[in-house]
């Protein structure tokens, strides 16, 4: 191996010795400047949680009309927050900062994949959002009309979201990594009236035509009457007269539209996420409560000061991007970094180059990314001066202690607290997390519920389990940013989250343990949701994409533990009679999944099965498949219809290893 630097070897030795260290109190240097330094907020919130949230809502947001009632809990689980209050999300994110003379402040240091740079100020974002709002209005989009957004990580995606919220049109952002077929389904479910997309997107030096691909599905969406296309790659795009308009042309001719004062419970956005069935769930968030929770956590979990440069590496297509790239930072008036490209292009040090170049002080990413960096080696971060960093964050899945320690030592230089933030698309904002100036950290634990949050770990009967025992994570008190319903599907909302333990206890879908100190250790999902690189996918959705192949008879998909991606998709597939399964068929299946869902859902492993293990009533026993795939001893198999099936599969899996 080439000469490894002395520093690299030193760090690796140090990491070994760190493995035994269990607790990390806030570094004194950090604590001294922290916004919160003691347990006051917990105590105050405990005394009267609703009044405490009210104070935060007043302090953090501008309201055009005050609320009459802070929380209406008369019809659980349909809670309403800040009833009667009026505000506008875009105004809170942009106008008020510009009015206060902070229009020239940089909202985003944007960095393109080829190294291009753009500095986007609050005034510029407002200028564009005001005009795009006008364009949308002129196309007949009004309060309540859903607008689809299918854009890469460019400043226009922020403008698009805020222009929608300015006029009260809920946005439905679809991750750019999803295929156009997945886009079609989501736009169809949300009955979108308009779509904002790009001509083309870039990935590691290549470009892909987006608008041309989108055109393939537009005919299947008759209620979608407007497409606004951002020119990004410049590759040109087919435009249909009357329906399609260019972003730059439309904005050039438009005047400004003022923000619409909206009810606190006005829908802000719909975001589709995967559940236990193949049909994605349209999580609906509203305005006042969501912004309150997002703004409070943005400021205090990330200890956001005026001179911070904040960078969340997520994509806006996920809830992390909604809450902690767009709404949280902008409502707080922060300066952020936005990066269009991949973490290994042009080289594997690009993230650290960006941190150094813009003087990033707060860095928020996912455990899977950290594990990938570990694999690449400490040489890449060591090439750069990361001394501007003062706080690190983690989100998306449990972070294993080894990755935590590496993050702490190699990226944080041993001086930055790590906030391991637990939350979900449904919760809207962070609910379990350290406050970095107060909480003593334990690697791998999201530590404790934030002020105002009541989380517990319970057994099947809803009774709290003893410390150390595993149970179901639940939330027993409404919080302002919680989802209000599943879009146009209130029954599924109640059924999914509020049927297992009653209408006042939110069923999270995660297994967790509590330790003697009251720290939460999230274990993982208890439903058929898999978490691949922090991306949430439904096994049923992948299965239905696989069985769409004419040669496939049946498929069962499981999440298999994977060192780098957390979980990997493993598919057990049976083929139609007379079909000889081979590598070509496997490729076709993967291709089909990429087309129907997106590349991120392609199975890492396909195992040909003669038959799938089923119960006598015909249900596929996924638990067994998981055990087989991970090489574990099999548990109870007495309910199995045909035990022979298992022996065959075990042999197959062993052969593959």
202 versus 322: smaller Cβ distance to ligand WT7: 322
Give min distance, CB of 85 to ligand WT7, in A: 26
Give min distance, CB of 19 to ligand WT7, in A: 20
Q: Is 479 in the site for ligand WT7 (CB under 6 A)?
A: no
217 versus 530: smaller Cβ distance to ligand WT7: 530
24 versus 572: smaller Cβ distance to ligand WT7: 24
Selected binder of ligand WT7 within 56, 273, 292, 485 (CB under 6 A): 273
SS3 117: strand
Q: Is 397 in the site for ligand WT7 (CB under 6 A)?
A: yes
Q: CA-to-CA distance for 188 and 65, rounded, in angstroms?
A: 35
The piece of 8-16, 140-148, 421-429, 645-653 that touches ligand WT7 (CB under 6 A) is 421-429
Q: Is 445 in the site for ligand WT7 (CB under 6 A)?
A: no
Selected binder of ligand WT7 within 88, 121, 336, 424 (CB under 6 A): 424
Q: CA-to-CA distance for 76 and 368, rounded, in angstroms?
A: 36
The piece of 48-56, 79-87, 103-111, 416-424 that touches ligand WT7 (CB under 6 A) is 416-424
| Helix, strand, coil percent content, the chain, rounded in steps of 5 | 35, 25, 40
H/E run at residue 652: helix 644-656
- In the numeric block, the tokens 């405990």 are attached to 46
Give min distance, CB of 508 to ligand WT7, in A: 6
Tokens of 301: 């979990």
430 versus 575: smaller Cβ distance to ligand WT7: 430
Give min distance, CB of 595 to ligand WT7, in A: 22
SS3 319: helix
H/E run at residue 13: helix 6-18
Selected binder of ligand WT7 within 185, 215, 510, 528 (CB under 6 A): 510
Q: CA-to-CA distance for 410 and 10, rounded, in angstroms?
A: 11
Peptide bond into 77 cis (omega under 30): yes
Q: Is 519 in the site for ligand WT7 (CB under 6 A)?
A: no
SS3 516: coil
Q: Is 417 in the site for ligand WT7 (CB under 6 A)?
A: no
DSSP 235: -
Selected binder of ligand WT7 within 525, 549, 596, 614 (CB under 6 A): 525
Selected binder of ligand WT7 within 221, 319, 514, 607 (CB under 6 A): 319
Selected binder of ligand WT7 within 61, 120, 159, 395 (CB under 6 A): 395
**C-alpha angle 512-528-622 in degrees, rounded to nearest 5:** 105
- In the numeric block, the tokens 């298999």 are attached to 560
Q: Is 398 in the site for ligand WT7 (CB under 6 A)?
A: yes
The piece of 55-63, 101-109, 201-209, 390-398 that touches ligand WT7 (CB under 6 A) is 390-398
Give min distance, CB of 323 to ligand WT7, in A: 8
For 185-258, list the strands marked E by DSSP.
Answer: 194-198, 200-203, 206-209, 226-230, 244-246
121 versus 560: smaller Cβ distance to ligand WT7: 560
Site pattern 527..566 for ligand WT7 (x: CB under 6 A): ----x----x------------------------------
Give min distance, CB of 521 to ligand WT7, in A: 9
The piece of 85-93, 180-188, 519-527, 639-647 that touches ligand WT7 (CB under 6 A) is 519-527
The piece of 57-65, 448-456, 518-526, 642-650 that touches ligand WT7 (CB under 6 A) is 518-526
The piece of 11-19, 389-397, 587-595, 598-606 that touches ligand WT7 (CB under 6 A) is 389-397
Give min distance, CB of 432 to ligand WT7, in A: 7
The piece of 79-87, 106-114, 523-531, 611-619 that touches ligand WT7 (CB under 6 A) is 523-531
Closest to 56 in 3D by CA, of 37, 35, 33, 34: 35
Please, where are the H alpha helices in 253-390? 288-301, 319-321, 328-331, 350-358, 367-376, 379-382
Give min distance, CB of 472 to ligand WT7, in A: 11
Cβ contacts of 375 within 8 Å, gap of 6 or more: 564
Q: Is 446 in the site for ligand WT7 (CB under 6 A)?
A: yes
215 versus 397: smaller Cβ distance to ligand WT7: 397
88 versus 424: smaller Cβ distance to ligand WT7: 424
Closest to 491 in 3D by CA, of 480, 503, 482, 477: 503
Phi, psi of 19 (to 5 degrees): -55, -25
Q: CA-to-CA distance for 293 and 289, rounded, in angstroms?
A: 6
β-pair partners for 305 = none
Tokens of 175: 């991750």
Q: Is 420 in the site for ligand WT7 (CB under 6 A)?
A: yes
Cβ contacts of 100 within 8 Å, gap of 6 or more: none
Q: Is 423 in the site for ligand WT7 (CB under 6 A)?
A: yes
# residues near ligand WT7 by CB under 6 A: 21
Give min distance, CB of 335 to ligand WT7, in A: 22
β-pair partners for 286 = 267
Q: Is 425 in the site for ligand WT7 (CB under 6 A)?
A: yes
DSSP secondary structure, 53-109, as one string: HHHHHHHH---SB--SEEEE-SSTTS-EEEET-EE-HHIIIIIHHIIIIITTSEEEE
Q: Is 429 in the site for ligand WT7 (CB under 6 A)?
A: no
Tokens of 32: 């001294």
DSSP 260: P
Q: Which of residues 199-238 bind ligand WT7 (CB under 6 A)?
A: none
- In the numeric block, the tokens 């030592």 are attached to 409
Give min distance, CB of 489 to ligand WT7, in A: 17
Q: Is 509 in the site for ligand WT7 (CB under 6 A)?
A: yes
Tokens of 130: 């005001």
Q: Is 356 in the site for ligand WT7 (CB under 6 A)?
A: no
Phi, psi of 23 (to 5 degrees): -130, 145
DSSP secondary structure, 117-135, as one string: EEEEEHHHHHHHHHHHHHH
Q: CA-to-CA distance for 84 and 481, rounded, in angstroms?
A: 17
Positions that interact with ligand WT7 (CB under 6 A)? 273, 319-320, 395-398, 420-425, 446, 509-510, 522, 524-525, 531, 536
């Amino acid at each position: 191996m080439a000469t490894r630097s002395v520093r690299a070897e030193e760090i690796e030795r140090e990491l070994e010795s760190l493995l035994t260290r269990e607790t990390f109190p806030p570094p004194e240097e950090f604590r001294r400047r922290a916004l919160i330094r003691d347990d006051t907020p917990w105590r105050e919130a405990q005394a009267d949680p609703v009044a405490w949230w009210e104070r935060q809502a007043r302090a953090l947001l501008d309201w055009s009309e005050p609320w009459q009632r802070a929380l209406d809990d008369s019809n659980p689980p349909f809670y309403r927050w800040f009833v009667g209050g009026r505000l506008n999300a875009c105004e809170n994110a942009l106008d008020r900062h510009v009015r206060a003379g902070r229009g020239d402040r940089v909202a985003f240091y944007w960095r393109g994949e080829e190294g291009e740079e753009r500095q986007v100020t609050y005034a510029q974002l407002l200028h564009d959002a005001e005009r795009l709002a006008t364009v949308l209005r002129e196309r007949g989009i009004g309060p309540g009309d859903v607008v689809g957004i299918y854009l890469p990580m460019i400043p226009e995606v922020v403008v698009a979201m805020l222009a929608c919220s300015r006029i009260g049109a809920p946005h439905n952002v679809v991750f750019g990594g999803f295929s156009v077929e997945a886009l079609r389904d989501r736009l169809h479910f949300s009955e979108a009236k308009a779509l904002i997309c790009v001509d083309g997107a870039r990935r590691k030096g290549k470009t892909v035509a987006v608008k041309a691909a989108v055109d393939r599905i537009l005919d299947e969406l008759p209620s979608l009457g407007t497409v606004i296309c951002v020119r990004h790659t410049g590759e040109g795009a087919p435009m249909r007269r009357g329906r399609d308009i260019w972003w730059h042309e439309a904005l050039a001719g438009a005047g400004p539209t003022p923000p619409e004062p909206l009810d606190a419970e006005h829908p802000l956005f719909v975001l589709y996420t995967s559940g236990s069935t193949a049909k994605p769930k349209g999580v609906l968030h509203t305005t006042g409560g969501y912004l309150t929770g997002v703004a409070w956590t943005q400021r205090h979990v990330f200890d956001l000061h005026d001179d911070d440069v904040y960078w969340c590496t997520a994509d806006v297509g996920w809830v992390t991007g909604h809450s902690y790239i767009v709404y949280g930072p902008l409502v707080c008036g922060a300066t952020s970094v936005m990066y269009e490209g991949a973490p290994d292009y042009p080289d594997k040090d690009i993230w650290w180059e960006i941190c150094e170049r813009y003087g990033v002080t707060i860095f928020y990413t996912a455990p899977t990314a950290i594990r990938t960096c570990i694999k690449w080696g400490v040489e890449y971060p060591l090439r750069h001066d990361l001394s501007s960093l003062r706080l690190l964050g983690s989100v998306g899945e449990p972070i294993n202690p080894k990755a935590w320690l590496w993050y702490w030592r190699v990226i944080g230089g041993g001086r930055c607290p790590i906030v391991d933030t637990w939350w979900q698309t449904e919760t809207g904002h962070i609910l379990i997390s350290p406050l970095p100036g107060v909480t003593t950290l334990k690697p791998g634990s999201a530590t404790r519920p934030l002020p105002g949050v009541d989380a517990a770990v319970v057994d099947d009967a809803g009774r709290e389990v003893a410390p150390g025992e595993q149970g179901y994570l639940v939330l027993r008190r409404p919080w302002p940013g919680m989802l209000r319903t599943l879009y146009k599907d209130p029954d599924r909302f109640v059924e999914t989250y509020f049927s297992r333990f009653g209408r006042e206890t939110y069923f999270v879908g995660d297994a967790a343990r509590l330790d003697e100190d009251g720290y939460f250790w999230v274990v993982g999902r208890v439903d058929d949701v898999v978490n691949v690189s922090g991306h949430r996918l439904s096994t049923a959705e992948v299965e239905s994409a696989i069985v769409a192949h004419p040669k496939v008879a049946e498929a069962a998909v499981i999440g298999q533990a994977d060192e780098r991606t957390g979980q990997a998709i493993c598919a057990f597939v049976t083929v139609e009679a007379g079909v000889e399964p081979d590598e070509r068929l496997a490729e076709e299946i993967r291709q089909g999944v990429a087309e129907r869902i997106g590349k991120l859902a392609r199975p890492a492993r396909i195992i040909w099965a003669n038959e799938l293990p089923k119960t006598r009533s015909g249900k596929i026993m996924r638990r067994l498949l998981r055990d087989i795939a991970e090489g574990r001893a099999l548990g109870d198999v007495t309910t199995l219809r045909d035990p022979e099936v298992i022996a065959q599969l075990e042999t197959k899996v062993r052969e593959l290893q």
